[in-house]
Chains A and B, each alone.
Chain A
Amino acid sequence: MMLPEPSMYAALLANRYLTSRIIPLIAVAAVALCVALVVIVVSVMSGFLDMLRTSGRTMMGDVVVRYPISGVPYYQDLIDRIEALPEAEAATPAIDTFGLIEMPYGTEEGNLVETVQVWGIEPVSFSRVSDFENILWWKAPAPGEADSLRADDPRLDESKDRRADAMAMRDQRTAEPGIVMGMHMSIFNERQSDGSYDFRNGMDRYWMPGKSVELTLVPIKGGKLSAEPEAREFAIVNEFQSGVFQIDKNRALISLGDAQEMLRMGAGVLYDTEGELDPETGGPLEIGTSPARATQVLVKAVEGVSPAQLRLAVSDAYESFWKASLADPERLVKPPDPFSVTIMTWEQQLADIIGPVQKERELMRILFSIVYIVCAGLVLSIFWAIVYEKTRDIGILRAIGASRPGILGIFLIYGLVIGLLGSIMGALLGWLVVSNINGIHDAMGEPAPVWLTISAFSVAGMLLVFAVVSAVKGSILRWLMGVIGFLVLAAVGGGLALHQGFLLWDPSVYYFEDVPNETDWFTALLTMGGAVLFSVIGAAIPAARAADTDPVTALRYQ
């Protein structure tokens, strides 16, 4: 049988080879560093891409039913049907439209007016579908969060807590209708490098909540009725930060009721515009009630259900809702047929944001397969050198009757133990670095501590003395190591002294406050398995080659 067969000498030698030389430690370290490198970079990169990707989701749930402009009537029935689905956790209606907003600041000629994407929402049910309540900015910090805020952060001031106002979409002091604006709509909200918003220019003067804006919406209506733009005053009740710049820059939220009123999408009397006139009033004949409408229904999936699965279920629910509405004589206004309504997952809806991220991820995978190959080559060449050095031992073992598979067995175990130890240590190292990456990053952002600089220079000085002593004593290797050590540590000391701190992950640029610190365990396990496999193969190939050599030839190696 040509399978590696365990004999006692194989176990003994594998053990001795692993424990009596420094080179296995170097091999373990090399494997560990390769694994740690891949784990750290892939975790941070895919964490970053995931943040980019999923931040779009915070404002929309998992699946969106959409019929723009005229909207879906009897949406509450649709929502009830969707919420009855086992796949759906919650659903909420919304209206999306565009408008003009007059900001509470401007030039002498008048306040600044900007275009804005307006969503009418029901804050409470919207919070169940999206992250709305969490992304509100002006709310009391969560118990653990308060410590991480700067002492002068305005959110620590209880009087600035506007959570309740936002959840009611009313300024509770004046009872005015409320509006919640994206954090970046106001030009005074300037993001700082620690992720906070600085209000150096006089915080209260430009603090948005409590100020009023004028919002102009245009009801768009088919048919014969003309549509006049309608402007209303809204009190700013809060601001939100979703994590997607385009959304935070352009979106404002008002209550669904206000949006329906301004867009003439609320419930009302339905008149017959084409038939007989009402004999009593002389106007059109009243024939029933016109239902309120919503242009979107946002749905959140139950934990464990994918958006794609939910989408299919919601499509079926819409079809049954449509059929029921057609059959119901009470419903005079019929909802749009299932082919006219778009039902998309959040990924399909946000394809223009997600597309580039997906491409970046592909690019990263390609780059990393190259890194993998380089690491595999490194492991292979280390093992080649180790086994080559053992050729004479292999000759001796063959001479006293060790079989070729037995020899292979020694080095399979040797490679396996090194690969396993290296990959476990590498994964551990990677996990430690990734979990503490924000601390490391913060430390890098500060100027280096003086003691560190001084110790680097002191060690450099000691190495210089060592080099001089070695030169006098006549050891060229020690002299060389001393000089190299001195140069490296002097350079490190110099670098530390000059280092004034830099932030690689500047939140004013990257938009996320923290570096992603979740270890990508799938990649980590894959890399560990790969490292073990490559170590075993890397040790097995040269060992098989050496085992095939005649003992007499192998014994000539010195």
Chain B
Amino acid sequence: MTAPPHQPAEPILEGRSLHKTYRLGRVEVPVLKGASVSIGRGEWVAILGASGSGKSTLLHLLGGLDRPDPGSGGVFNRGERVALERGSATNRYRNRSIGFVFQFYHLLPELDVMQNAMLATLVPRNRLVGALMVLAMLAGGLAGGILGFLAAGPWGLLPVEERTAVRAWILAITTGILGGAVMVAVVQVVQSLLVKGITSRGPAAAVATRTLGDFGLDHRFRHRPRELSGGERQRVAIARALGSEPEILLADEPTGNLDAKTGREILDLLKQRHESGLTIVMVTHDSTVAAYADRIVRLEDGGVVEDRGSTPHGP
């Protein structure tokens, strides 16, 4: 029942004979049974299937959010295997190579629209701040420890008869912890100010501002997700996925939670992006949504049953 995989001219993302089995209590449920799919650069592929066909699982595997069963093939980005068993490689892949859009938006409720849209650009670690924090912590700990030692001894915090070496050390360690904690808190304050600067100026802020502007969210930068409509939230989620300027956008039922009109607006946004070169892989159970794609991959019972080109750029 598995259809021969379609081979695009320039594959950018491939899943090769992917298996995935979930364990529900004692029962093993195979969800993907050797599905293969190959996405070409600049394609818009819709993965169509009924509920339980394994389409979301396939997308999660392609996006590195989940791992295929051991020894069952793998995910290839530009022909290179994505090392999903290695944490740092996976993180880099999730952060840089792909952008992921969920059906339920999954915005962080405590952050405003601008901060949500910029989140992916804030993820890479900052070695300078890291070094500063470690240095500050060590300096604070050392200073606290010395002060504690002095306090225990010559400064007379302890009465003469209780001035033992053990007590002095205990106090020095305690004040060392407190000193280190104070310095970490200070660095945290400095860092928060830095983040404030980054999220209002800087190149990443400019990208997010432009994207949000394109999506018609100019006046919403400082709003929280709960103050937005479903369509607006999904637009912020797409802006977030595009924040680190990935080549590939993976969207899991991006319109599944929206009414038909808002859904069309979202798809039109994706279409614009696609036309300017973005590769899109979209999971849906709705054939009218799938019609927006260049190519439809139909999934049934964990395997690809159909892989064909669609009418380009939908109704």
Residues of A within 8 A of B (CB): 5-9, 11-17, 20-21, 301, 304-308, 347, 392-393, 395-404, 406, 413, 416-417, 419-420, 423, 521-522, 525-526, 528-530, 532-533, 536, 550-552, 555
Contacts and interface: CB of A to CB of B under 8 A. Distances in A.
Given A304-B160, A400-B120, A521-B157, A5 B125 contact: yes
A546 to B, nearest CB: 14
Interface string B88-128: 10011111100010100011111100010001101111100
B125 A403 contact: yes
Contacts of A420: 178, 181-182, 185
A400 B95 contact: yes
A525 B171 contact: yes
Interface stretch (B46-54, B68-76, B192-200, B211-219): B192-200
A20 B110 contact: yes
Interface string B158-180: 10110100010011011101100
Contacts of A400: 94-95, 100, 119-120, 123, 240
B178 to A, nearest CB: 5
A349 B270 CA distance: 90
B304 interface: no
B133 interface: yes
A304 to B, nearest CB: 6
A162 B65 CA distance: 89
Contact of B184 (A399, A416, A550): A416
9 contacts: A16-B110, A403-B88, A404-B87, A406-B125, A419-B181, A420-B181, A526-B170, A532-B181, A551-B65
Given A306-B160, A402-B123, A533-B177, A11 B108 contact: no
Best-buried of A11, A21, A301, A308 by chain B (most CB within 10 Å): A11
Given A8-B191, A8-B195, A399 B100 contact: yes
Contact of B178 (A16, A404, A532, A551): A532
A525 B178 contact: yes
Given A522-B171, A529-B177, A533-B177, A9 B123 contact: yes
Contact of A15 (B92, B125, B188): B188
B78 to A, nearest CB: 18
A388 B115 CA distance: 23
B106 A396 contact: yes
Contacts of B96: 401
A423 B92 CA distance: 38
Contacts of B106: 392, 395-396, 399, 555
B228 interface: no
Interface string B137-166: 000000000001000100011101101000
Interface of B is mostly: helix
A7 B123 contact: yes
Interface size class of B (residues with CB under 8 A): 35 or more
B110 A417 contact: no
Given A401-B91, A416-B185, A525-B148, A7 B163 contact: no
Given A392-B106, A401-B120, A552 B66 contact: yes
A521 B178 CA distance: 14
Contacts of B188: 11, 14-15, 413, 417
A292 to B, nearest CB: 34
B163 to A, nearest CB: 7
B191 A11 contact: yes
B3 interface: no
Nearest to B88: A403
B184 A401 contact: no
B108 A393 contact: yes
A401 B246 CA distance: 12
B149 to A, nearest CB: 12
A403 B160 contact: no
B206 interface: no
B277 interface: no
A7 B125 contact: yes
B260 interface: no
A406 B185 CA distance: 17
B41 interface: no
Given A304-B160, A522-B167, A552-B66, A11 B110 contact: no
Contact of B115 (A12, A392, A399, A406): A12
A419 to B, nearest CB: 7
Given A12-B111, A17-B110, A401-B91, A6 B192 contact: no
Given A16-B115, A423-B178, 10 more contacts: A6-B125, A6-B126, A11-B195, A305-B160, A396-B106, A400-B240, A401-B123, A403-B87, A417-B188, A552-B66
B199 to A, nearest CB: 8
B60 interface: yes
Best-buried of A20, A392, A522, A532 by chain B (most CB within 10 Å): A522
Contacts of A399: 63, 65, 94, 100, 106
A550 B65 contact: yes
